[in-house]
A and B are shown apart, each in its own frame.
Chain A
């Protein structure tokens, strides 16, 4: 069975400072990893994904994530946070060895960026 852990329910950061939202995963095979963001009363918006290749993945809105196979982590990062980045962030995993697009999500991390 696959699982995702987001150890922090909330991350607080000042505008202009770098941010990190943590994610660790567990799958039996090789993982596909994703980050999504959810704004109030909205669905999930795709930010970025890791499939294979370079461990540093760049995505939308200046976000990037680093895949670390030995630590089974896929932390989301941004060099300079904006107040508008405040939202709920979800990490998700798909087991490459299983057919289909089913995603297993972490519990979510609320990012609060203060002016």
Chain B
């Protein structure tokens, strides 16, 4: 079974621009979560989607948004990019919303804001 895929793998943007990252979960997985990883803040939860609805949201400004499509694929968008948004953005998928299911992570999208 194919793993979680993320596109693009690397991205360079300028301050003030916006960016859209894409995530395809493992086939059959219905929950998709997004995390931001930085050297200073570590791994931080952004949001989680299930059945095209946002179920949980982390402590990030409204510039960070996401959505999930009917095929469970997900996108996240960051508007008005700031230098501090430079990070590795990780997508993770899980079979269901609740229960003890582990999350499987994609390779990430490395975003650099200049």
Contacts and interface: CB of A to CB of B under 8 A. Distances in A.
Interface in B64-114: 90, 92, 94, 97-98, 100-108
Contacts of A52: 100
Interface stretch (A19-27, A40-48, A64-72): A40-48
Interface residues of B, number: 26
A107 B97 contact: no
Interface in A27-84: 32, 34, 36, 41-46, 49, 51-52
Given A49-B100, A51-B100, A104 B45 contact: yes
Interface residues on A, range: 20 to 34
Given A99-B98, A100-B98, A101-B31, A43 B108 contact: yes
Nearest to A52: B100
Contacts of B105: 36, 43-46
A89 interface: no
Nearest to A96: B100
Given A43-B4, A90-B43, A105-B42, A99 B97 contact: yes
A87 interface: no
Contacts of A90: 43
B33 to A, nearest CB: 6
A41 B90 CA distance: 11
B56 to A, nearest CB: 4
Given A36-B105, A43-B90, A100-B48, A105 B97 contact: no
A53 B42 CA distance: 30
Contacts of A41: 107
A105 B101 CA distance: 16
A101 B107 contact: no
A93 to B, nearest CB: 12
Interface of A: 32, 34, 36, 41-46, 49, 51-52, 90, 99-108
